[in-house]
Amino acid sequence: MSDVISSLISTVAGILGPHGPATAAAAHSYAPADFSVHFFLQLAAIVLACRVVGWLGQKVGQPQVVGEMVAGVILGPSLLGLLFPHFQGMLFPKETKNVLYVGAQLGVGLYMFMVGTSFQADHFKAKAKSAMSVSFAGIAAPFLIAAIITPFLLKVPGLFAPTISQGAATLFMGACIALTAFPMLARIINERGLAKTSLGTLSLTAGAFDDAVSWCVLAVVLATFGGGPGVAVLAIGGGLAWVAFVTILGPKILAPLGRMVEREGQMSTSVLAMIILAFCVSAFLMDAVGIHAIFGGFILGVVMPRGLLVQELKKKVEPIAVVLLLPMFFTYSGLNTRMDMVNSAELLLIALGVLAASVLAKWGACYVAARFSGENHHTAMGIGALMNSRGLMELIIINIGLQKGIIGPTLFSMLVLMAIVTTVMASPLFEVAYGRKARETGELDAIDGTIAKAA
């Protein structure tokens, strides 16, 4: 009996260990079943952490997404790995990170697809001139700031790849600072009833354009960093070609699906399968040309037939994407974040300097541009507060930078900190700068519980 108990204890203790072929060359490799058992345990831990931390965030007026970003860092080496390194290593062994990465990409791609279904194209027509002014400021100022600070960052070992040129490093930093948390921006604007206000139209249009420019710049950086000019040509040319195809022919191709759902009064599994197929193709093409899968999902969502079809999609797809899949992305980012690497006064000052420069370049520049475009002080301050939030988009682009070897773990951690802080700032600064005043005048309705879900 004692042998049975000992064997049982040994078996349970080894559940999270590798069970690969018992050969000298692969005695410690992971078998398919090992990836499976880790994946489900990781998913349970991720969902639990994100819901708990997200709930705590809502108690202090933060959107759910902010809590999930923080939860991702908590599960990584910055906290869990620091306090319980052995347990964290067993829960998230490096061999399983690729599986988590794929799930993370599916989650963020589906989420951006759903954001696209809520997007209204008339935003771009309402105040195009003013929006372009804000957008230009939101691009020009970050790249100017990046040109100033990058030479200093290059002198610090480990922040950038040793072989990167100053020009490529400057472009990458400019793209990181110029990004706006477009998914969060869209949700806040729609849920607070700002879709038809000056703030809503300006922010949505400028945010979308700024992010598109940042991704094109990233393609250029990847090309100059070693991929060759073909990388940039394929990314920009292929991306524009696919966007043109989807926006011109997509509505006509997808219209029958909308009519089918309206006729049947609900979305059948066959229609859902065709939509998921279209999403996968669009995400694949944008990923393959070097932009990112999320833009494939987003542009497809923009052209989806409105009405009952979108309502059914929100019921069937959005809960799984938001609750189950998207948190995997935040955790994957958190696993790459090493706050303990910012372990000196010099590195801490650099991190704070990058944060201050990012806020000045985005919020300050967008505020000034909005004022010159004729917006009042409160509206301009609100636009600046929303445009300054980096959120999900920042995590995506810096993950690519880390994977491609453009930046090191230390700079990655600094930029994660910048993304979290600027995202946390968005809601309270928006309230102080614009929300309270707008509610007093009746321009903005009272906040309800739905804003707590903004992502």
Q: Answer for the pair 95, 88: CB distance below 8 angstroms, yes or no.
A: no
Q: Which long-range contacts (CB under 8 A, 24 or more apart) does 222-231 make?
A: 222/290, 222/404, 222/406, 224/165, 224/167, 224/168, 224/171, 225/161, 225/164, 225/168, 225/404, 225/405, 225/406, 226/163, 231/290
Q: Does the pLDDT value for residue 1 go beyond 80?
A: no
258 found inside a domain: yes
pLDDT tens for each residue of 61-100: 777 777 888 888 899 888 888 888 888 888 888 888 888 8
Q: How far is CA 163 from CA 155, 158, 407, in A?
A: 13, 11, 11
pLDDT number for residue 2: 67
Residue 380 neighbours by CB under 8 Å, 6+ apart: 366, 367, 368, 370, 371
Structure-model confidence comparison of residues 207 and 9, the more confident one: 207
pLDDT number for residue 23: 41
Task: Taking residues 291-320, report their average pLDDT.
Answer: 87
Burial class (CB in 10 A: 0-12, 13-18, 19+), 45: middle
Task: Taking residues 29-50, report their average pLDDT.
Answer: 86
Q: Answer for the pair 390, 185: CB distance below 8 angstroms, yes or no.
A: no
What percentage of the chain reaches a pLDDT higher than 90?
19
pLDDT number for residue 445: 54
pLDDT band at 287 (very low <50, low <70, confident <90, very high): confident
Q: Which of 36-50, 122-136, 216-230 has the highest mean pLDDT?
A: 36-50
pLDDT tens for each residue of 329-342: 888 888 877 777 77
pLDDT number for residue 235: 77
pLDDT number for residue 26: 46
322 found inside a domain: yes
287 found inside a domain: yes
Burial class (CB in 10 A: 0-12, 13-18, 19+), 207: buried
pLDDT number for residue 198: 63
pLDDT tens for each residue of 398-428: 888 887 788 888 898 899 889 888 888 887 8
Average pLDDT score, the chain: 80
Amino acid found at 104: A
The CATH number that applies at residue 153 is 1.20.1530.20
295 found inside a domain: yes
pLDDT number for residue 32: 78
Helix (H/G/I), strand (E/B), else coil: 407: strand
243 found inside a domain: yes
281 found inside a domain: yes
Give the helix ranges, DSSP H, for 179-228: 182-191, 198-222
289 found inside a domain: yes
Q: Does the pLDDT value for residue 245 go beyond 90?
A: yes
- Domains contained in the chain, number: 1
88 found inside a domain: no
Task: Taking residues 362-373, report their average pLDDT.
Answer: 87
Structure-model confidence comparison of residues 224 and 337, the more confident one: 337
Of 405, 416, 222, residue with least CA distance to 335:
416
Look up the domain containing 128 and give its range.
105-453
Helix and strand numbers (H, E) in the chain are 23, 0
